[in-house]
Each structure stands twice: as structure tokens, then as C-alpha cells.
């Protein structure tokens, strides 16, 4: 241990589903390093992105504010320079700050060129590209340095960025630093609609794992769906996992592993074109549920956080973990009260999801239920951040249907459940957006024998009935 404040590293993957990790039950052995972090540190079991689109999710990760509050409710919008960020807060406290990889928060100023200094979210050391998928391929990575000069990084893309991260850690190991390592993998290569893994890695995972939602829906998905892509997707994640292991080896070698908070999460997931015409932008867990693990000071041995939480909580969690005050206006909540089995009585039982670009939508997710509303036809999801009118479109029982294959919206038997979730959503929208939109109920329908609770309470006695082994 040293008297240096905790160092902080964030590893961000792009488009990684929560169920790709062994800690979440994946049987393919893809993520031994993530799983080790989960055993040693704190695993967030149900981590939900605030918006299943790159830029909005990333704006929330950097600021602790919902995308509609930062103004970055869709791709192509810049993060306002005057918004407090993780980097600006830690930088003001004397931290060296560094950003490596994909940014996607510069708007349209220079989407495939260098990010202007004023649009870098307060980070000092810089080796990044705004849209890395358009300035690189799997083995040819070009990023831009602090001076806006292009830099060529040899090797497989995630390896090249991890190598740069290790160099940053080595150069600043003797003082407090914040390093944000933003990888592109396992995002597809847009030009070829492919998931290029290192040689031999795709083959290792072809046919190894197919979750129920993709097994049920991929046969009708356009452009091949998950059957075409999943081997490469998992191969990319495997290489990332190995890279995080190398990064942790570097921390261990430098004697700072125990003094470093390390968080690994993703901006959003992927449904592989099974819910709409592309990979995300839906309220399903395949899009919105992501892996999230933390270790280091404050999180070592923290166990499992079972309550659904939003990744908008990342920024305040890390700020509080290093002993600093969370800035005024931050809407996320620190996870520290939940670590080690603790409680946060004022934390809502649900989380909010804002959906843009494909629809103007909103959702709330609890441990058991998912409730989704969307603005009616005519709303412009590219120009309109919110709507004054929403209509119920989806309701899922995640206990009985965890992969959301049966939409229960409109069932008269579930009206009470939907009403409670509608109230929870209305509270979120008032608190986060300052809005009170109209939410119209879905047309009522019935389904024989269907009820929210499986036991026929009221028709079959339970309390006071003798046990079977009593006479």
C-alpha cells in the first residue's frame, strides 16, 4: 500500500452483452479474467445502460447524467464542454487523466479525424479516435494524439490499445491517475458487417453458445443474424479478456494492483438484428443489459449487487471511491452503499432506459418486470429527445421469460402490474426529464389462464392448511 490516492482504470467494451461472461452463466469459457474480477471484487448482476446507443450511453458514463440531460440523446451530438465529467473532477484533484480508444462524443466536428481539445471531456493525455470503427480495422489501428497527429498502432486492435494502456500506466504509476480504456471490440466492423477476431479465435467459438433469444429469433434475422456472427463476436471478447489480464499483470508488476480501482463495463449490448433492423436501439435486455464488475479499494470482496442499477452510476461511484465529492447536478447514485451486501433505502427499485434514433421510447426495468412505451408514429427519433405522448408497447415477465420472447402488453390480467410500472416510469420522467407526458394504455386483451402470480391465491387455501407429514 502507498499514500497515493487510489488510481482508477475503466475498461469499456462496445456492444458486449451481459451473458457473454462466465460470471453471468456463459458456458463457453470466454472470460476467465472478467470472472476472476467478479470473484475477487464486486459484480453488478443487473447493470442497465441508460440508452442502448453509443454516444448517449458514453455521455452518461462520463458525466453521471442521463442522455437527455447532457443533450447527447443520439449519436452525432457533442458532449458540452462545460459539463463536469469524471476526468474534470479527478483532474482538478491532481489526477493525471488519460483516454485511449474510441470516444464518440465529438459530434460532427471531426467524426473521423482528431477530436478538438475542447471536446475531449477534460482528459489530458489523449490517444483516441472519435469513431474508431471508421479509422481502423482489426489489424490496422489509427488514433490521434494530444496534438491531433495520427498515430499508427500495430497489432490486433484491442491488443494495440491495451499495449498503449500499459505504457500509460508505467509512465504514471508513481502518482494518482485516471485511465479510460475504450475498446471497439466486440463491435462489428461497419464496412463489412463482420466481427473480425484474431486468427483461430472465431473458429474456437463457432457453434459453442447460442442464448435463447438468438436461438429463437436469429433464423429470420437479416444478413445472417447471430448464426453468422457469434463465433467472431465471442472470439473478440476472448482476446479483450486476455488483454485485461495483461493490463492487470502490469499493475501487479508495478506494485499498484491493490491500490487501483478497476471497472469493466460496456456501453450497450447487441441483439444481432433480431429485434429491429440493426444491433441495438431496443429496450430488450440483449440491448440494454451489460456486464459490470469493479475491484480494488472499496470493491474488493464486495460480492454481488443484485438490485438493478444503471451505468449512469459509474461516474459518481468512482468519484466517491477516491474520496471526492460528487458534483452538483449528477443524477446517478454511487454504488458504494450496495457493496458487500449493504443497502441504499432511497434508491429506486427500477431503472430508467431512454431509447432514441430507432424510436422515441422509454422503459423501466425492475428485478422481475420490463415495461416499455414508445411515441406514436410521426415522432422523429433523430430530432426529438422526448415526447409528450407515449403508448405502451411491451411488457415482459423476466422471472418467467428472462429472454423476453413473450410480450404481455395489454393483458387485462396484468393491468395492475402495468399500472404500477407506469407510475414508476412517470416518477423517473419527472425526476430526470422534468416532464409529465401522457402514457396511454395498450388495447386490452386476454390470454386464457394467464396471471402474474402462479399460485391460485384465493381459490386454494395455504395458510393454516396442515403439512403433508402431519395427521
In tens, the pLDDT along 160-210 reads 999 999 999 999 999 999 999 999 999 999 899 999 999 999 999 999 999
Instruction: Please say whether the beta carbons of 261 and 8 come within 8 A.
Output: yes
Strand 309-310: give its sheet, edge to edge: 289-290, 47-48, 309-310
C-alpha cell at 112: 473521423
Look at residue 398 in the predicted model and tell me its pLDDT. 98
Q: How confident is the model at residue 4 (pLDDT cuts 50, 70, 90)?
A: confident
**Per-residue pLDDT tens for 234-243?**
999 999 999 9
Pairing of strands 96-102, 351-355: unpaired
pLDDT above 70 coverage of the chain, percent: 100
Mean pLDDT of 79-85: 96
**Per-residue pLDDT tens for 338-352?**
999 999 999 999 999
Chain centroid, CA 93 distance in Å: 27
pLDDT over 90 at 392, yes or no:
yes
Look at residue 390 in the predicted model and tell me its pLDDT. 98
Bridge partners, residue 84, by sequence? none
Q: What is the pTM of this model?
A: 0.96
Look at residue 1 in the predicted model and tell me its pLDDT. 46
Instruction: Give the CA-trace dihedral at 235, 239, 242, 243, to 10 degrees.
Output: -160
What is the rounded average pLDDT for all residues in the chain? Answer: 95
Q: How confident is the model at residue 377 (pLDDT cuts 50, 70, 90)?
A: very high
Q: Is 116 exposed, middle or buried (0-12, 13-18, 19+ CB in 10 A)?
A: middle
Chain centroid, CA 263 distance in Å: 12
Q: How confident is the model at residue 2 (pLDDT cuts 50, 70, 90)?
A: low
Amino acid at each position: 500500500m502507498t499514500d497515493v490516492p487510489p488510481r482508477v482504470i475503466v475498461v469499456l467494451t462496445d456492444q458486449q452483452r451481459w451473458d457473454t461472461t462466465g460470471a453471468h452463466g456463459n458456458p463457453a469459457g470466454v472470460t476467465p479474467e472478467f470472472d476472476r474480477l467478479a470473484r475477487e471484487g464486486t459484480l453488478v448482476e443487473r447493470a442497465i445502460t441508460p440508452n442502448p446507443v453509443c454516444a448517449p450511453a458514453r455521455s452518461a458514463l462520463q458525466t453521471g447524467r442521463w442522455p437527455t440531460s447532457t443533450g447527447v440523446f443520439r449519436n452525432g451530438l457533442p458532449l458540452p464542454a462545460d459539463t463536469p465529467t469524471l476526468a474534470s473532477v479527478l483532474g482538478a484533484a491532481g489526477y493525471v487523466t488519460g483516454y485511449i480508444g474510441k470516444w464518440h462524443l465529438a459530434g460532427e466536428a471531426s467524426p473521423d479525424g482528431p477530436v478538438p481539445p475542447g471536446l475531449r471531456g477534460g482528459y489530458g493525455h489523449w490517444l483516441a479516435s472519435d469513431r474508431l470503427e471508421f479509422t481502423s480495422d482489426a489489424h490496422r489501428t489509427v488514433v490521434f494524439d494530444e496534438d491531433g497527429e495520427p498515430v499508427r498502432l500495430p497489432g490486433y486492435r484491442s491488443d494495440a490499445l491495451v499495449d498503449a494502456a500499459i505504457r500509460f500506466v508505467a509512465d504514471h504509476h508513481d502518482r494518482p491517475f485516471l485511465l479510460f480504456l475504450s475498446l471497439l471490440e466486440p463491435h462489428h466492423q461497419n464496412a463489412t458487417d463482420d466481427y473480425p477476431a484474431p486468427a483461430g479465435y472465431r473458429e474456437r467459438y463457432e457453434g459453442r453458445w447460442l442464448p435463447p433469444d438468438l436461438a429463437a429469433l436469429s433464423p429470420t434475422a437479416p444478413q445472417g443474424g447471430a448464426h453468422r456472427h457469434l463465433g467472431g463476436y465471442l472470439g473478440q471478447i476472448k482476446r479483450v479478456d486476455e488483454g485485461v489480464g495483461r493490463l492487470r499483470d502490469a499493475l501487479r508488476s508495478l506494485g499498484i494492483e491493490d491500490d487501483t480501482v478497476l471497472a469493466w463495463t460496456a456501453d450497450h449490448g447487441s441483439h444481432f438484428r433480431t429485434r429491429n433492423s440493426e444491433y441495438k436501439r431496443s429496450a430488450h435486455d440483449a440491448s440494454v443489459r451489460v456486464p459490470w464488475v469493479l475491484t480494488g479499494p472499496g470493491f474488493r470482496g464486495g460480492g454481488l449487487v443484485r438490485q438493478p442499477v444503471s451505468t449512469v452510476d459509474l461516474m459518481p461511484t468512482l468519484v466517491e471511491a477516491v474520496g471526492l465529492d460528487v458534483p452538483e447536478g449528477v443524477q446517478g447514485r454511487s454504488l458504494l452503499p450496495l457493496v458487500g451486501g449493504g443497502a441504499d433505502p432511497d434508491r429506486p427499485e427500477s431503472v430508467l432506459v431512454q431509447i432514441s434514433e430507432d424510436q422515441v421510447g422509454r422503459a423501466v426495468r425492475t428485478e422481475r418486470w420490463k415495461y416499455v412505451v414508445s411515441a406514436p408514429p410521426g415522432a422523429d427519433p433523430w430530432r426529438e429527445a422526448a415526447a409528450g405522448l407515449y403508448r405502451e408497447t411491451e411488457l415482459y415477465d423476466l422471472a418467467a421469460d428472462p429472454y423476453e420472447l413473450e410480450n404481455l402488453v395489454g393483458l387485462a390480467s396484468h393491468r395492475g402490474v402495468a399500472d404500477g410500472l407506469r407510475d414508476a416510469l412517470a416518477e423517473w420522467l419527472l425526476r430526470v426529464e422534468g416532464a409529465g407526458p401522457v402514457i396511454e394504455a395498450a388495447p386490452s386483451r386476454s390470454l386464457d389462464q394467464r396471471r402474474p402470480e402462479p399460485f391460485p391465491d384465493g381459490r386454494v387455501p395455504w395458510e393454516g392448511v396442515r403439512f403433508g407429514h402431519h395427521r
